[in-house]
Amino acid sequence: MITSSGKRLDPREVAQIVTEMLSRRLGYLPDWLPSDKSADAAIMQIFARYLQTIIDRLNQAPDKNKLAFLDLLGIQLIPAQSARTPIVFRLADNVPDARLPANSQVAAPPPPESNKRIIFETERAIGLAVAKLKEVVSLWPGRDQYIDHSTEFLTGQSFQPFKKRLLKDTPHYLYLAHDIQLAFAGKSSVNVIFELTTASNEHLDILWEYWDGAVWREFLEMRPSCDEEEAMKQDSTGGLQRSGSYQLKTDCAETSKTTVNGIEAFWIRGRLDEPLALDPAQILPEVESIKLGTEIARPLKFSWTAISRKKERP
């Protein structure tokens, strides 16, 4: 028997007890030499087993004394409780989503020493979806950073969430699409007009980009300007601290369609160029409406046609 500390007061087993008795016989009965199948050898085995029973009871004494001490302090044993375990349900690909009611029975395989299966019941109703998990990320709101574990998850590898050296800044994008207003080419000007219901209490540094068919490119003069008047022309919202507009300009640019969240269209996007760490004092803007206006300057095209006339004699 092993105590709660993992140690035995007396670790001897039957074979060790018999060996010790035979080693001590020379001091008491030097002429006694029991054979393996003799009656005296059997009596010695019986005595060793009785002694091991006493040793087992002795090894239980520390735990018994501990329980008596806890009982004296008024600390009782936790009453027996039903076993609980998490269960994962996997639906076949050709079935619809379903709902599993509470108290649904689930059978577990029987333990090795029994042929009786163990029956569990669900504690509450849950929804079952055919959709499979595709992305796994760890999000740290206080740092506005995240870790993407999707590759490790899909390949069956283990991963460690919230590992600081793997953290990346969380991207924040606002996507806008319009098949006419944003299908511009050449020298263009786009006004993005915001009507806010709640203004931000801090300046939000937003950079605007358009899709040119290969990469997302910044509009001209999107970096903050030291000239206050010029900055107001570019962003009259003051970083969404009030209603206003962003004036976005391009020079010899051409947009192309791309797919965002399953929608193919001409897109532009606003990218927050700073972390958005969790701050109870910060007030984020709430948008009532967004309007778009586009001006495209195309140079006039002229064509000339040369006409040759045959000179006639009078």
pLDDT digits (tens, 9 = 90+) for 260-288: 999 999 999 999 988 888 888 889 999 99
Query: If you average pLDDT over every residue of the chain, what do you get?
Result: 84
pLDDT digits (tens, 9 = 90+) for 177-186: 999 889 888 8
Tokens 């806010």 locate to 196
Give the number of other CB atoms < 10 A from CB of residue 188. 23
| pLDDT classification of 224: cutoffs 50, 70, 90 | low
Give the number of other CB atoms < 10 A from CB of residue 270. 20
Query: Looking at the predicted structure, is the pLDDT value of residue 308 above 60?
Result: no
User: Assign residue 18 a region: left if phi > 0, alpha if psi is -120 to 50, beta otherwise?
Assistant: alpha
Angstrom distance (rounded) from CA 253 to CA 119: 67
pLDDT digits (tens, 9 = 90+) for 6-30: 677 888 898 898 888 888 888 888 8
Cα atoms in the Cβ-side hemisphere of radius 13 Å centred on 176: 21
Q: Domain extents for the chain?
A: 14-72, 98-128, 137-169, 173-297
pLDDT digits (tens, 9 = 90+) for 77-116: 788 888 888 888 888 878 888 899 999 999 888 888 888 8
What is residue 178's predicted lDDT score, i.e. its pLDDT? 92
Angstrom distance (rounded) from CA 25 to CA 44: 12
DSSP for residue 237: T
Cα atoms in the Cβ-side hemisphere of radius 13 Å centred on 60: 8
Residue 200 Cα distances to 2, 111, 191, 287, angstroms? 65, 61, 20, 10
Alpha-carbon Rg for the chain in angstroms: 41
What is residue 143's predicted lDDT score, i.e. its pLDDT? 86
Angstrom distance (rounded) from CA 138 to CA 161: 6
Angstrom distance (rounded) from CA 182 to CA 292: 9
